[in-house]
C-alpha cells in the first residue's frame, strides 16, 4: 500500500489560500494539503521544526509556492530547497500572480519545476490547479526517496562525481 501523498501550499493571502484549497479538493481524490502562511513556515514544515516537528518525514508530492511572502520570500525558499540535497528533488511549482519576466528567469535559474501565473477567472483558476495536481500527483513519476536507494549506491555516485571533478580540475 502506498503512502498518501500530500501537498505543501505556501500562500500568505488567506483568500487565495482558501480558494486554492477548495480548488485542489473539488471533485478529486483527497490529498492532505498543508498550508504555510509565510516562507519561514514552509522551511519549518520541510525541516520538521516548531509546529511541524511531529510531521512525518515523507516529503510533499509537490510544493505550490507563492513568490511574494512575508518573513522569507519565495525566491529564498526556492533557493534553500534546491540547494539542499535532502530537499532538491521535491517538485516546486511557483503559483503566483507575478508575470514579471525577471521572476520567471530567477525561478528557473534556481531550479523551479514549473511556473504558473494564477488565472484571474474562477474557472480557469480551478482548472489550472486541477491540472497541476493531476500532473504532479498522478502522471509524474517521482524519484525514489533516499531511504529506498542503497547507501552504497549513493556513496559510489559521490565518489564518481568527486573523481570527475578532480579530473576536470587537472
**Mean pLDDT throughout 8-17?**
91
The answer as to CATH 3.30.1370.140 being correct for domain 7-143 is no
18 pLDDT exceeds 80? yes
Which run of H or of E encompasses 8? strand 7-10
Please say whether the beta carbons of 17 and 43 come within 8 A: no
149 pLDDT exceeds 80? no
Backbone angles phi, psi at 105, to 5 degrees: -65, -50
pLDDT digit string (tens) for 43-101?
999 999 989 988 888 889 899 999 998 899 999 999 999 999 989 999 999 999 888 99
**Mean pLDDT throughout 103-107?**
93
How many C-beta atoms surround the C-beta of residue 45 within 10 A? 21
pTM above 0.85, yes or no: no
What residue ranges do the domains of the chain occupy?
7-143
Q: Which of 38, 42, 37, 44 is nearest to 62 (CA)?
A: 42
Residue 33: per-residue pLDDT: 87
145 pLDDT exceeds 80? no
Amino acid at each position: 500500500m502506498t503512502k498518501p501523498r500530500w501537498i505543501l501550499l505556501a500562500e500568505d493571502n488567506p483568500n487565495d489560500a482558501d480558494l486554492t484549497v477548495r480548488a485542489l479538493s473539488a471533485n478529486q481524490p483527497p490529498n492532505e494539503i498543508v498550508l504555510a502562511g509565510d516562507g519561514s513556515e514552509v522551511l519549518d514544515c520541510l525541516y520538521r521544526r516548531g509546529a511541524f516537528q511531529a510531521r512525518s518525514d515523507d516529503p510533499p508530492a509537490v510544493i505550490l509556492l507563492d513568490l511574494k511572502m512575508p518573513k522569507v520570500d519565495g525566491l529564498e525558499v526556492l533557493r534553500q530547497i534546491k540547494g539542499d540535497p535532502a530537499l532538491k528533488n521535491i517538485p516546486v511549482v511557483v503559483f503566483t500572480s507575478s508575470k514579471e519576466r525577471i521572476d520567471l528567469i530567477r525561478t528557473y535559474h534556481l531550479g523551479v519545476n514549473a511556473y504558473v501565473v494564477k488565472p484571474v477567472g474562477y474557472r480557469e483558476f480551478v482548472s489550472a490547479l486541477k491540472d497541476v495536481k493531476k500532473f504532479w500527483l498522478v502522471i509524474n513519476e517521482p524519484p525514489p526517496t533516499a531511504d529506498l536507494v542503497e547507501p552504497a549506491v549513493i556513496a559510489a555516485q559521490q565518489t564518481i562525481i568527486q573523481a570527475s571533478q578532480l579530473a576536470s580540475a587537472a
